[in-house]
Structure 1
Amino acid sequence: MVTQEFAKLWWKLSKDLHTHMDAELAPSLTEGQLTVLELLLNRDRMKPSDFIEFLATTPAAITTLLDRMEKASLITRERDEKDRRIVWVQVSEKGRAECERGMQIRERFLQSYLSRISSHNQQLLVYLLGKVANA
């Protein structure tokens, strides 16, 4: 019974978050693009193949995603000076601004949910979710 209730609540929270993010990020950004921008901000630059472990998709889909992001001026791609086979992906200034906007949208949404419970219970929830996620 607990697993069914957990699944139902998890699905609702996930659906609410995705629906909100899709609506608020549009038309200049998608959730997938926000994920790519956040990864790049934490790593400075990445090769397209580096995204595979973070995104649940195919190399071809990653290429398509990066193509769209480059066309929208969210990222830049440049060849490695020493090994021309390597392409480096970096976040652009516009991408930085859009990433910040996206993170603020997500932060406000999650805070609106978390504000329903006390600070202590928020910390407890994060702790317990950490236990479940890292089990």
Structure 2
Amino acid sequence: MYSQEFAKLWFKLSKDMKLFMEGQLAPSLTEGQLYVLEYLLAREDVKMKPSDLVDYLSTTPAAITTLLDRMERANLIVRERDDKDRRIVWVVVTDTGKQECRRGVSLRQQFLDGYLNRISAHNQQVLVYLLGKVANL
């Protein structure tokens, strides 16, 4: 009954956020690169290989390689060979990557705050609760 309206609203919010993020992050970062940086930094205590990103991004190893190539050219990450097994490659976030991640997260927070501040704190809490239910979290 409400699925059509939900889809329309979800599409609008997603589109608005994508346009905002693309415009604000460019030219040094993409939204996809931001997600990778966040994922890597959230697990900074665990070394990660490119293959560890496949499930997270729901993509192919070839697409991961292309993404990491671009990120390395932008000095967001470096790929380092393992000292003991040279076949293993670790993905490491650079200082530039950390700085760009902080900038991207701040921009996203600014965007979301702009939307959420249109409703009361109580309604924000209810909205987050209901979205959690919809997302099965």
Task: Provide TM-score, normalisation by structure 1.
Answer: 0.97
Structure 2's unaligned 5+ residue stretches are none
Deviations 1:33-90 (A, max 9, x none): 0011001111123110011111132110110010110111100110111221111001
The one-letter code of the counterpart of 2:124 is: Q
Cα distance in 2 between the residues matched to 1:82 and 1:124: 51
Aligned to 1:6: 6
TM-score under structure 2 length normalisation: 0.95
Q: Matches of residues 1-135 of structure 1 in structure 2 within 5 Å?
A: 1-44=1-44, 45-134=47-136
The residue type paired with residue 7 of structure 2 is A
CA distance in 2, matches of 1:10, 1:82: 48
Residue 5 of structure 1 aligns with an amino acid whose one-letter code is E
Structure 1 moving runs of 4+ over 4 Å: none
The RMSD of aligned alpha carbons is: 1.0
Give the count of matched residue pairs. 135
Equivalent-residue separation in structure 2 for 1:50 and 1:116 (angstroms) = 38
For residue 12 of structure 1, give the secondary structure of its aligned residue in structure 2. helix
SS of the counterpart of 2:56? coil
Structure 1: state its 5+ residue gaps.
none
| Counterpart AA for 1:89 | V
